[in-house]
């Protein structure tokens, strides 16, 4: 009888503790800004790493295979996703957070249908619409921001873009962006130096520390 009573108390205690130990769920939030004029560029505490991938084969796959949690947020170009399905499966198996990397901002000035097509392709591969979107050059023209707002996808810029060489000093709440493109590409040696230079946290931890820093872009 005593064993039953003790077991019951333990179960009740676990049930009562669960709601208080869970962090706020970022995935339940789709609009972190109040209007499409804003993009998110910083949090308030810690450092977050984001990596833009549109080019790379075996080298990228090997880097992903050796990644340890907490993982960076990977912004993936959909043409790259289609070319390397095995690497994409590895990303999914490791449960690495992903977001949608678009074309340079100029491509969306008169063509918001381009975004819709990219969102559909992303959802087909990953089973859900992305929470985050970034253009390849971090230029967010107004028609694009409006389309993102209507699609319930957040525009995420960065505090700084790291292109290799000397590692920048730590700034609280920073969101660092690293390019892995054909024309602009950080070496994996430099990327390792950056990752070893400070403790990186998941993007939601940096943003929800809180407050989110916004950059207002005029129409």
Domain count, the chain: 1
Domain membership flag for residue 70: yes
- The candidate with the shortest Cα–Cα distance to 178, out of 70, 101, 66, 106, is 101
Q: What is the pLDDT of residue 7?
A: 34
pLDDT in tens, 123-144: 999 999 999 999 999 999 999 9
Alpha-carbon torsion, ordered 51, 56, 59, 60, to 10 deg: 30
Please write the tens of the pLDDT for every residue from 64-107.
Answer: 999 999 999 999 999 999 999 999 999 999 999 999 999 999 99
pTM of the predicted structure, to 2 decimals = 0.81
CA distance 166 to 162: 9
**The tokens of 65 are what?**
């295979």
* Residue 164 region by backbone torsions, left for phi larger than 0, else alpha for psi between -120 and 50, else beta: left
52 domain residue, yes or no? yes
Provide the residue range defining the domain that includes 127. Answer: 31-216
CA 56, CA 165: separation in Å to the nearest integer? 20
Identify whether 140 is part of a domain: yes
Q: Per-residue pLDDT averaged across 173-196, rounded?
A: 96
Does 108 reside within a domain? Answer: yes
Assign residue 105 the CATH number of its domain: 3.20.20.370
- Residue 217 banded pLDDT, cuts 50, 70, 90: low
What lies within 8 Å, CB to CB, of 23 at 6+ separation is: 204, 205, 208
Whether residue 1 lies inside any domain: the answer is no
Q: Does residue 104 sit within a domain?
A: yes
Q: Each residue of 43-64: pLDDT tens digit? A: 989 999 999 999 999 999 999 9
Whether 24 is covered by a domain: the verdict is no
Q: What is the pLDDT of residues 149-175, one digit of tens each?
A: 999 999 999 999 999 999 999 999 999
Q: Indicate the average pLDDT of the chain.
A: 84
Place of tokens 């678009």: 102
Residue 49 lies in a domain: yes
């Amino acid at each position: 009888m005593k064993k039953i009573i003790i077991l019951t108390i333990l179960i009740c205690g676990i049930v009562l503790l669960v709601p208080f130990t869970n962090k706020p769920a970022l995935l339940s939030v789709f609009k972190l800004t109040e209007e499409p004029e804003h993009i998110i560029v910083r949090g308030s505490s810690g450092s977050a790493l984001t990596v833009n991938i549109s080019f790379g084969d075996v080298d990228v796959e090997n880097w992903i295979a050796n990644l340890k949690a907490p993982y960076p947020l990977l912004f993936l170009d959909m043409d790259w996703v289609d070319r390397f399905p095995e690497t994409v499966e590895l990303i999914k198996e490791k449960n690495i957070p992903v977001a949608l990397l678009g074309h340079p901002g100029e491509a969306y000035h008169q063509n918001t249908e381009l975004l819709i097509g990219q969102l559909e392709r992303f959802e087909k591969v990953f089973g859900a619409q992305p929470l985050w979107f970034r253009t390849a050059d971090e230029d967010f023209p107004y028609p694009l921001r409006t389309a993102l707002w209507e699609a319930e996808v957040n525009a995420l810029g960065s505090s700084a873009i790291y292109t290799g060489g000397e590692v920048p000093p730590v700034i609280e709440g920073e969101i660092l962006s690293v390019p892995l493109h054909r024309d602009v590409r950080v070496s994996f040696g430099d990327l390792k130096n950056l990752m070893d230079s400070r403790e990186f946290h998941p993007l939601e931890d940096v943003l929800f520390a809180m407050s989110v820093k916004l950059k207002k872009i005029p129409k």
